[in-house]
Amino acid sequence: MMIRMAIADSNEEYIQRLVSVLEDYEGLTLSVYTQTQALETALATRKFDIILFDASIYDGQTALGRSSLAILLLDESKGVPESCRDLPKVRKYQRISRIYQQVIELYAEIAGETGSVLGQKSVSLITFYSPVGGSGKTTAALVTATKLARKGLNTLYVNFEEIASEDCYLPQTGDKGMSEVAASLGSGVNFKMKIQSLLQTKMENLVYINHFDSPNDVEELSGEEMTELLDQMSKTGIFDYIVVDMGVALNQKLLSVFEISQKIVLVERPGSIGAKKMERFLSQAHIINNYGRKMCRLLNFDNGHAPEFDTEIPRIGRIGTAQNMDCAQLIGALANSSSIHFVSELI
């Protein structure tokens, strides 16, 4: 879907900086106006989806013609003109990437689902799970997401844990995240645009969305809602892979995500308690019979003494123990390591 955006500001230096960043985003067609008369002529004769304007060139009241959304570039040092008080606003002097996200989020509210052209390319969901707390599941999921991104694959990391820890590696910037995405289900909002407005970038090809605001927001999601979220994310056409980080609970929500996953990685940890929990999980015949063909095992904290299980689920790799390294450094080191081969087994 192409969004036709008119940008209007009498400050030519500001417009040049704004356009130099916005033109790098796919899906935008930009038209620039620095004089009121040229803008009014364009509004009367052309259709724009969005007009992003400064009050120095447009009063917010002149007829928009066939344009659908006017957004004020707010200069906080000057305040809001009376004629623009009822219009949506974004702060003019902030990171341009944030201006883009806020504008797209506002447009998503009015574009509706019919304005979305859903992607048709195949998307693979890789789900990480362990019945063992402290198995390093999140570390393994983040290493996988990073390695996929470095292979040039557009990768989204999603965390469904009630108490998450991915912020050790993925900074939680901005004030909206997965709770906002979940709330948009069934609302008529253009889902692709909503996602685009909330994506955070870790590195080239690796993106994520801030975690849920509260553990209750995760707890209240049904299995159907979780799978609907993942299905809608898949249909945006933005991603090649979605890496899903699940909690330790064994419930219907987990099985719903297993159902739509292409790969399920079971993360093991050596030790008698970890071994017993994994053994009991692998003994759940209804789960193994239904989803075992998608499963593989990954041994974390390998100390050379990992127990073996009577199972046909293959082990695709091992991650050794690490000393005196924080989580972010560890993930980066593992993602860079040529000795970590298990990700190739998941593609």
pLDDT in tens, 185-237: 877 788 888 898 899 999 999 999 999 999 999 999 999 999 999 998 998 88
Q: The CATH number of the domain where 153 resides is what? A: 3.40.50.300
Same domain as 263, residue 200? yes
Report CA 192 to chain centroid distance, whole Å.
Answer: 11
pLDDT in tens, 84-98: 888 889 998 888 888
Same domain as 174, residue 103? no
The pLDDT value given to residue 278: 94
pLDDT in tens, 11-67: 999 999 999 989 888 778 899 999 988 888 888 778 888 899 998 888 766 656 555
The pLDDT value given to residue 113: 53
Kindly provide the residue ranges of all beta strands, DSSP E only, lying in 216-323, ordered along the sequence.
241-245, 263-268, 295-302, 315-320
The pLDDT value given to residue 337: 87
Report CA 14 to chain centroid distance, whole Å.
Answer: 29
| Amino acid in position 274 | G
Average pLDDT for residues 146-163, to the nearest whole number? 95
Average pLDDT for residues 144-154, to the nearest whole number? 95
Whether 118 is in a domain gets the answer no
The pLDDT value given to residue 327: 85
Average pLDDT for residues 248-274, to the nearest whole number? 94
Q: The CATH number of the domain where 16 resides is what? A: 3.40.50.10850
Whether 214 is in a domain gets the answer yes
Closest by CA to 237, choosing from 192, 170, 302, 292, is: 192
Whether 225 is in a domain gets the answer yes
Same domain as 275, residue 142? yes
Domain final residue pick, 111, 142, 164: 111
pTM of the model as a whole: 0.75
The pLDDT value given to residue 255: 96
Same domain as 129, residue 89? no
Domain that includes residue 60, residue range: 3-111
Question: Given a cut of 50, is residue 318 above it in pLDDT?
Answer: yes
Domain final residue pick, 83, 111, 139: 111
Same domain as 102, residue 227? no
Q: Name the CA radius of gyration of the chain, rounded.
A: 24
**Residues of the chain above pLDDT 90, percent:** 49
Whether 11 is in a domain gets the answer yes
Same domain as 130, residue 96? no
Domain final residue pick, 111, 135, 164: 111
Q: Which residues touch 75 (CB under 8 Å, ≥6 apart)?
A: 54, 55, 92, 93
Whether 136 is in a domain gets the answer yes
Same domain as 254, residue 135? yes
pLDDT in tens, 102-148: 888 888 877 765 444 433 457 899 999 999 999 999 999 999 999 99
Average pLDDT for residues 239-255, to the nearest whole number? 95
Whether 119 is in a domain gets the answer no
Same domain as 291, residue 205? yes
**Residues of the chain above pLDDT 70, percent:** 93
Same domain as 292, residue 181? yes
Report residue 271 as tokens.
């030790």
Q: Which residues touch 158 (CB under 8 Å, ≥6 apart)?
A: 178, 208, 209, 230, 233, 242, 243, 244, 245
Would you place residue 178 in the very low, low, confident or very high pLDDT band (cuts 50, 70, 90)?
A: very high
Same domain as 330, residue 225? yes
d(CA 347, CA 335): 16
Domain count, the chain: 2
Average pLDDT of the chain is 87
Same domain as 101, residue 162? no
Cβ(340)–Cβ(152) under 8 Å? Answer: no
Same domain as 330, residue 278? yes
Whether 204 is in a domain gets the answer yes
Whether 116 is in a domain gets the answer no
